[in-house]
Structure 1
Amino acid sequence: MFSKVIKVYFKQSSRLCSTKSNIKNLLENSATFVDIKPQHSEQEWATLPYPEGSKPRVQGDYDPSSKINPEDTSVILFPGQGTQFVGMAKDLLKYPMARDLFELANHTLGFDLLKICLEGPQKELDKTENCQLAVVVTSLAAIERLKEERPNAIDKCVATAGFSIGEITSLIFSGAIPFEKGLKLVQVRGHAMQMACDEIESGMATVFYGPDSRLGYACKRAKEWCVERGIEDPECTIANYLYPHCKVVAGNLEALNFLEKNSKEFKLKRIKRLPVSGAFHTKLMEPALEPFRKALRKINIEDPIISVYSNVDGKKYRNAEHIAKQLPKQIVKPVKWEQTLHVMYERGEGTHFPRTFECGPGTSLKSILKQVNAKAWDNCISIKA
């Protein structure tokens, strides 16, 4: 047992040295964020939802003096990592501005992101540094489809939120972060998080449970089990709050294996692994924080034109300064999506709900909304990619 602990210690020490070296290289070679001058019109995103100088919009329900009818407004939601699939964006290419958006993304990033979306392979698309970019650009391309099919949904949008990486999509959409610089930010985030994933084998799993389940205790026992086997400072915690009796747990692979093997003991109904490469939104992502903060400081963040809600606490961003301070926390803090939906759709009795549009790959956010607020779900449409 002692020799096993020694081996684990030296293995983790080696990884720590490698992590420090990787962080140093990433900081030195992170995106320059120099403004890119488009070579031709196809490399400009000419249809930014909210032109410079637009006046901020707010949801009528939060302003008692407002006479805005909620049914005449809309809310737009953007999905996160894990929704990607080979062939995504294919149905969007018939919309000229969606094609132009990918053209600009390819030019900005220096590689063919669209080809990875369309052709994969899945293993390549699932890499954190690729799938985060793919989900963001595909989601914004879905906005171009929404503009074509339902222009009022954009014109009368009053609020937006995104799940995990989708939060950066929502900040780009709201005008708080420029598109090209937003992509560079996502690129740094993806590389930094993949770097953290490579240092410690970890993952995520959706857990379905009942009122008599002991999920918190199960996570505690999983960490104790890891410590007993020589794993230093293991993690096993709730990373995503989805809806009642459904959460995502993230941590060391050994901890997730423990939960799966002992699910009956803790009365967990079902555990489903997610197609991600690490324990996102936990302390295991701490190596990604400094590269992301440095990249974020290179961006001139603006006050968003519409309300944007933070994953960290479910509350609305107050201004650009608040975004700069709060956004990095999202990498290591759990996504409080259920709480965010409660805040976004809080209404007085008898008050109507806005229309909701989920823009991006998959329909996961619409499914979650049904579990949290069935009345709001009645007016929700997925703009599929």
Structure 2
Amino acid sequence: MSVRVARAAWARGWGASYPRGASSFRVPPPGPESVTELLRDAAVEDEAGVATARRSPGQCSVLLFPGQGSQVVGMGRGLLRYPRVRELYAAAQRVLGYDLLELSLHGPQEALDRTVHCQPAVFVASLAAVEKLNHLQPEVIENCVAAAGFSVGEFAALVFAGAMEFSEGLYAVKIRAEAMQEASEAVPSGMLSVLGKPQSKFNMACLEAREHCKALGIENPVCEVANYLFPDCRVISGHHEALRFLQENSSRYHFRRTKRLPVSGGFHTRLMEPAVGRLTEVLQTLTWKEPLVPVHCNVHGGKYTHSKHIPKLLVKQLVSPVKWEQTMHAIYERKKGTEFPRTFEVGPGKQLGAVLKSCNLQAWKSYSHVEVLEACEAQDL
């Protein structure tokens, strides 16, 4: 893929089309020196077959978009000085019907943590972080060769890649978050991060936790791996009683550490089946385009190969485990001695960077985080 086309993807994601069933709005057009104007010309040149200089792997970049659980009060404060960021939040207020920027900046944390709020908040903050990255290091956007997003972050990655427009992506995230919130309230459930050992048997632990729940009279209990993070680390979703059983018996399964995640339900399992219908319906109203930057899918870790597969796999993602470890292997696989691309985590938190470090230490050495708070640290932008 041409780097010019890769950069053009970011422009294409900011269209004005809006899904049926929602109030219409248009993101205000940027100024003449914006990335949109620059990339429109670049895309035309590429379509005409103009050759572009080849980049070495070390000059290329990968963008990673975080998911739910990365939210923190104050996110977005470090982005407001950059072009178009306030426009994104103004557009978000029209779509969502509440002031997302106010909630992101000032909380309270309890409200921000609710699924219905944090998914749109992380989505918009991540794309606002791309605006910052484009302003400070436009060559990173030019030379992007792959993108991936964790759970709801996959929607942001697809907008960045031009597969759908910002307005449509945000509306889909809104419906997804509402449906998942409702599904979560129907069954007391949650998610448990588990750091194990090579001898840990996650599937056996889940099976015995389900048997424990059945003995307590819980019908059709759920307890299964929902996220593959890195070797010996999984996130398990299920009924609260199942997760409690795993924590109380962690030594039996050689778990080194367990921690409940700040989410409202057992995501990426069949507990989310009640949300499937609403998400399917809204995704069918969207206009899908071929991603101009390869986007990796949570369901199998590989690239999307056709735009028609995107809505189907986004729905399947709701009830399937996130194969993030597999995604990291797919993105960073290369011949020995070949340089790794630079990696940028765009959005709140540095969780994806920590996971990358455990998956591929050499790739992590070229990792940076685009800071969305005010403070800037080493290796942050």
- Determine if the TM-score, normalized by the shorter chain, exceeds 0.5: yes
**Inter-partner Cα distance in structure 1 for 2:184 and 2:39:** 36
**Inter-partner Cα distance in structure 1 for 2:23 and 2:88:** 17
1:99 is aligned to 86
- The question of 1:223 aligning with 2:177 is answered no
Contact 2:123 2:152 in 1 (8 A): yes
1:352 is aligned to 339
Q: Which secondary structure state, in structure 1, belongs to the residue aligned with residue 124 of structure 2?
A: helix
In 2 relative to 1, CA 310–373 (structure 1 residues): closer, same or farther, beyond 3 Å? same
Q: Which secondary structure state, in structure 1, belongs to the residue aligned with residue 243 of structure 2?
A: helix
Number of aligned residue pairs: 345
Q: Which amino acid in the other structure matches residue 220 of structure 1?
A: L
**Inter-partner Cα distance in structure 2 for 1:52 and 1:161:** 26
2:246 is aligned to 259
Contact 2:27 2:88 in 1 (8 A): no
2:24 pairs, out of 23, 32, 36, with: 36
2:301 pairs, out of 301, 314, 320, with: 314
Q: Which secondary structure state, in structure 2, belongs to the residue aligned with residue 350 of structure 1?
A: coil
**Inter-partner Cα distance in structure 1 for 2:282 and 2:149:** 20
**Inter-partner Cα distance in structure 1 for 2:228 and 2:42:** 36
1:361 is aligned to 348
Q: Which amino acid in the other structure matches residue 368 of structure 2?
A: I
User: Please, what is the CA RMSD of the aligned residues?
Assistant: 2.2
Provide the TM-score with structure 2 as the length reference: 0.86
- Comparing 91-100 with 292-301, greater Cα deviation is found at 91-100
- The question of 1:174 aligning with 2:161 is answered yes
Gap regions ≥5 residues in structure 2: 1-18, 47-52, 373-381
Q: Which secondary structure state, in structure 1, belongs to the residue aligned with residue 206 of structure 2?
A: helix
Runs of 4+ in 1 over 4 A off after TM superposition: 39-42, 46-53
2:375 is aligned to none
Q: Which amino acid in the other structure matches residue 114 of structure 1?
A: L
2:7 is aligned to none
CA shift for structure 1 position 325: 2.1
- The question of 1:137 aligning with 2:137 is answered no
Identity of aligned residues (%): 46
- Comparing 356-365 with 215-224, greater Cα deviation is found at 215-224
Q: Which secondary structure state, in structure 2, belongs to the residue aligned with residue 38 of structure 1?
A: coil
**Inter-partner Cα distance in structure 1 for 2:40 and 2:179:** 32
Gap regions ≥5 residues in structure 1: 1-30, 58-65
Contact 1:56 1:304 in 2 (8 A): no
Deviation per CA, 1:314-357: give whole Å up to 9, x if none: 01001211112222100000000000000011101221111111
2:266 is aligned to 279
Q: Which amino acid in the other structure matches residue 149 of structure 2?
A: G
**Inter-partner Cα distance in structure 1 for 2:282 and 2:39:** 24
**Inter-partner Cα distance in structure 1 for 2:28 and 2:350:** 35
CA shift for structure 1 position 213: 2.2
Deviation per CA, 1:286-319: give whole Å up to 9, x if none: 1111100000000011111110000000010012
**Inter-partner Cα distance in structure 2 for 1:33 and 1:180:** 13
